[in-house]
Amino acid sequence: MAPTAPLPPRSTAIFASHLLTRSDGAQAVLHDRWVLLEGGRIAAITAARPAAEQVFDRPGRFVLPGLLNLHNHAFSEAVARSQTEDGHGRRRNPSIIYTVLLPLTRRGLDILTPAERLAVARLGILQLLKGGVATVMEPFRNGLGEMFDAAAELGIRFYGAPYLFSTGDAVAGADGTVRYAGDDGAADLAAWNAAHARWEGAADGRIRLAMSPHATDTCGPDLLRAAAARAREVGAPITTHLAQSAAEVATIGRRHGGRSPAEYLDWLGLLAPDLLAAHCIASSDDDLRLMAARGATVLNCPRVFARTGTVAAFGRFAGFGIRTLVATDGYNADLLGEINAASLISKIAATDMYAASAPELIDAVTWSAATAIRRPDLGVIAPGATADLTVIDMTHPHLQPLADPRRGLVALGNRANIDLVVVDGRVLIDRGQLVHGDEAAITAAGAAAIGRIWDLPEARTAFAD
């Protein structure tokens, strides 16, 4: 499908009352500058207004590199949205990954038409863009290739990560242990290779793939080794779920000679700078020291855990010297709200008001995130960098008066303050609204498609209390 976003104007100038930049290797904020974009590149940062075809002269804006949200599930979390709050549908089980989300997503993919799957994918991408996200990494089930179509169409920068499982039929018992018979991971690796052949580098390079073996307890050693080797052969980042629960820690210990989930990945050669590991909440301090030593990245998604009363504190991981990013897990695609939660939850968990500072958390969705996927052209506003920007309207009443833009953004900001999202020099969001597309139609169609899953008898049973 051809992208509908038109070619960008040859040049765009954006005024920044506050501009996030880097100086001598550290984050810095400049004031009253212009950012000049030419085609898909940042051409210059100037004090005087440059000549440009398209000009955004809006005082009070905070211009940041395009935000990176490197762990999101547009589809599976939509299935749970507003169904699983306050413990509803959980039967006292904080983790519904294996009992509800994976089975319903699998059934959903079977019953929805391609048009309905595309509608859900579009809604997810719309939520991300309106939340200020320029780049997303999205792990999803095989059979949801429409995620790629929606990303290409709506213009977001997209790292698609079709899951690999040692079996598609992993089931969890009442004790949380995942059981699966056989090891047919080769089929998923073949499907990943087909997706890579079709999509890697599509949409002017905005579409890429990441290798996503689902989790330590759903992927056996042979699959993990093969997936890592293939990812390294083609230079794809590797992402997985790691130490999501005490049950997973017990399962891996039983299966693999007492190893922790982190030790299991290290044994197989996956614990390395190209690994982005989601959650890690059941990791021991020794595990986190090991991850720091190996240079692996933690993807911290605090709100999806907070809803079940579980602490996932950014500050704990960062405190071990691990590169720690903040992402949404699809629960609420509001990345600014997520860094606000990361700040508060880290301070509460450490009983330390200095934990998880605003510059650290902004770094976790800009520079550090770009570094984790080896994209030095993203995550920074500098001449020659890729023209991905997220612009926040700091004149919003809730953000005034404003002494410090970074502290104001993290402590007070959220998705309602997004002004512009620019990807590859294309303005995708302007004044918070989708430029090319009908938001109401996308929202209605996506919600209707999820409603078809909610109508399934097994969904009614799962979500009945």
CA distance 244 to 65: 30
- Which candidate, 358, 380, 402, places its Cα nearest to that of 35? 380
Closer to Zn ion by Cβ: residue 278 or 442: 278
Closer to Zn ion by Cβ: residue 76 or 371: 76
Closer to Zn ion by Cβ: residue 126 or 278: 278
H-run or E-run covering 148: helix 146-154
User: Kindly report the CA angle at 409 between 404 and 411, in degrees rounded to 5?
Assistant: 95
Min dist. Cβ of residue 75 to Zn ion (A): 12
Min dist. Cβ of residue 278 to Zn ion (A): 5
Closer to Zn ion by Cβ: residue 8 or 160: 160
| Choices 8-16, 157-165, 276-284, 309-317 (CB under 5 A): range interacting with Zn ion | 276-284
Min dist. Cβ of residue 221 to Zn ion (A): 22
DSSP readout, 174-236?
A: TT--EE--S--HHHHHHHHHHHHHHHTTTTTTTEEE-BEE-BTTTS-HHHHHHHHHHHHHHT-
Sign of torsion, CA 157 380 28 325?
positive
Structure-block tokens of residue 143: 């059979």
| Choices 17-25, 204-212, 270-278, 359-367 (CB under 5 A): range interacting with Zn ion | 270-278
Helix (H, G, I), strand (E, B) or coil at 106: helix
Min dist. Cβ of residue 301 to Zn ion (A): 7
- Which candidate, 8, 184, 163, places its Cα nearest to that of 73? 163
Q: What are phi and psi of 402, to 5 degrees?
A: -130, 115
Strand 207-209 with 157-164, pairing? parallel
Closer to Zn ion by Cβ: residue 37 or 342: 342
Min dist. Cβ of residue 103 to Zn ion (A): 16
Q: What are phi and psi of 199, to 5 degrees?
A: -115, -25
Min dist. Cβ of residue 178 to Zn ion (A): 15
Q: Taking the mean position of all CA atoms in its chain, how far away is CA 230? A: 22
Q: How many of the chain's residues bind Zn ion (CB under 5 A)?
A: 1
Binders of Zn ion among residues 155 to 194 (CB under 5 A) are none
Min dist. Cβ of residue 70 to Zn ion (A): 11
Binders of Zn ion among residues 98 to 137 (CB under 5 A) are none
Min dist. Cβ of residue 434 to Zn ion (A): 25
Closer to Zn ion by Cβ: residue 15 or 140: 140
| Choices 167-175, 230-238, 271-279, 309-317 (CB under 5 A): range interacting with Zn ion | 271-279
Closer to Zn ion by Cβ: residue 96 or 278: 278
Min dist. Cβ of residue 329 to Zn ion (A): 5
Closer to Zn ion by Cβ: residue 278 or 418: 278
Closer to Zn ion by Cβ: residue 67 or 276: 276
If you ran DSSP here, which 8-state letter would residue 242 be given?
E
Give residue number: closest CB to Zn ion: 278
Min dist. Cβ of residue 48 to Zn ion (A): 46
Sign of torsion, CA 181 183 185 187?
negative
| Choices 85-93, 267-275, 278-286, 340-348 (CB under 5 A): range interacting with Zn ion | 278-286
Structure-block tokens of residue 7: 């070619």
Closer to Zn ion by Cβ: residue 214 or 259: 214
| Choices 60-68, 272-280, 315-323, 383-391 (CB under 5 A): range interacting with Zn ion | 272-280
CA distance 43 to 36: 6
- Which candidate, 366, 423, 429, places its Cα nearest to that of 389? 423
> 35 and 372 in contact (C-beta within 8 Å)?
no
Provide the H-helix boundaries in 373-426.
Answer: 405-412
Crossing angle for the helix pair 102-111 and 439-454, nearest 10 degrees? 110
Binding mask 389-428 for Zn ion (x = CB under 5 A): ----------------------------------------
> 105 and 38 in contact (C-beta within 8 Å)?
no
If you ran DSSP here, which 8-state letter would residue 100 be given?
I
Q: Which residues bind Zn ion (CB under 5 A)?
A: 278
